[in-house]
Amino acid sequence: MIHNEEGSLKSDNKHERPFGITIISVLFILAGVLELAGLITGFILFSSLSTLTSSSPAEKSVSQNVQSIVLNILLTRLPGLIPAILFLILGLGLFKIRKWAWIATLVILSSNFAFSVIHLDLLSFIICLVILAYLLEGEVKDAFSISKRTGSLMQKLPILGFIGGLIILGYLSAFSPGNRITGSNKGNEYYEMQALDHNDLSLCDKINNQSQRDNCYSEMARLRKDPEICSKLSEKESSEYLQDECYKNVALQAMNGTICNKIILNKTAAEYCLSLVDFRYIQEAEIENNSSLCEKMIEVEGDITTTKEHCYGIVAQRDF
């Protein structure tokens, strides 16, 4: 009887959850819940805006533009759905001291360990290193009932991840100049910075990262006040939104409402662009006390806040 009680006690102690595992599992669960909550909130907001009825064209335009922004944010964050679910599963598995959760966490963290080396992400490198070192401690392995053979095998994963990361980093540095992060002035960030500093559009073409290249084109279009550069943006699912944003920014920079007419796929976005340009004219007219600027306004039908009459009235108030 005593022997059985002692054996039972040893078995219970063996599966007792270490305090560090509790912290890690709770953090994983919180990360998953917060990411999912953000996505769900975004979908609710998008649905609410879709059913919202506006009393005026101006309010409808603003509502549709906000809806477009929310949708773009959702599409950007949607890839985070898989990591969020993964965090929840691993967090619950670690909290319940499941062997598969320990193994899966080791594999994923070892992969992230390699990526942190490739991208020279010091913070990610330190976090992965600390958690990996803790998970491989004898007390933690005993809690998850990890055999010596499995523990020895899994202990090699971080080392392989580190070596693999160094090999890939070396390859990128030697054979892909556009991806170099340090030790070279031919990286994507360098090309973008030089393009903007020297007003050289051809340097944007040398950027091999699509997102950074599009950003370079957009900034060059705004600085040159040249809407034609916006047409160079990449052809992808979100290219229409990127081009619309590019045309809007150029129109505001040039204070030229006719550029807004290039936004042909979204009428409300074009009207919103015109309203912003007209509002800029009102601001400049008030600052310079120059009512002639009001004549340059195009006016959006139904928007009473950006009319020439409203502009003249604001300028006239400065005379009193």
Spatial contact of 298 and 277, defined as CB atoms under 8 Å apart: yes
Does residue 23 surpass a pLDDT of 90? Answer: yes
| Vertex 95 angle, CA 81 and 102, to 5° | 80
pLDDT in tens, 280-309: 888 887 788 887 878 877 766 665 556 777
Does residue 52 surpass a pLDDT of 80? Answer: no
Mean pLDDT of 238-248: 77
CA 295 centroid distance within chain: 41
Tokens of 19: 């305090």
Per-residue pLDDT, 196: 85
Per-residue pLDDT, 25: 93
Per-residue pLDDT, 320: 55
SS3 call for 245: helix
- Identify the CA nearest to 208 among candidates 186, 235, 238: 186
Per-residue pLDDT, 183: 37
Mean pLDDT of 6-20: 58
Q: Report the amino acid identity of residue 178.
A: G
Tokens of 299: 């006016």
Q: Report the amino acid identity of residue 163.
A: I
pLDDT in tens, 268-288: 778 888 888 888 888 887 788
Mean pLDDT of 109-123: 85
Please give the radius of gyration of the chain, using alpha carbons only, rounded to the nearest integer.
29
Least confident of 16-25, 65-74, 160-169: 65-74
- Report how far residue 4's alpha carbon sits from residue 11's, in angstroms, rounded to the nearest whole number: 10
Least confident of 154-163, 228-237, 280-289: 228-237
Per-residue pLDDT, 13: 40
Tokens of 225: 């006040």
SS3 call for 290: coil
User: In whole numbers, what is the pLDDT of the chain averaged over residues?
Assistant: 78
Residues 132, 136, 140, 142: what is their CA dihedral angle, to the nearest 10 degrees? 150
- Report how far residue 148's alpha carbon sits from residue 258's, in angstroms, rounded to the nearest whole number: 72
pLDDT in tens, 191-214: 888 888 888 888 888 888 888 888
Tokens of 117: 């080396």
pTM: 0.48
Per-residue pLDDT, 9: 36
Does residue 69 surpass a pLDDT of 50? Answer: yes
- HSE-up (13 A, CA, CB side) for residue 81: 9
Spatial contact of 72 and 83, defined as CB atoms under 8 Å apart: no
Residues 149, 154, 156, 161: what is their CA dihedral angle, to the nearest 10 degrees? 160
Spatial contact of 125 and 114, defined as CB atoms under 8 Å apart: no
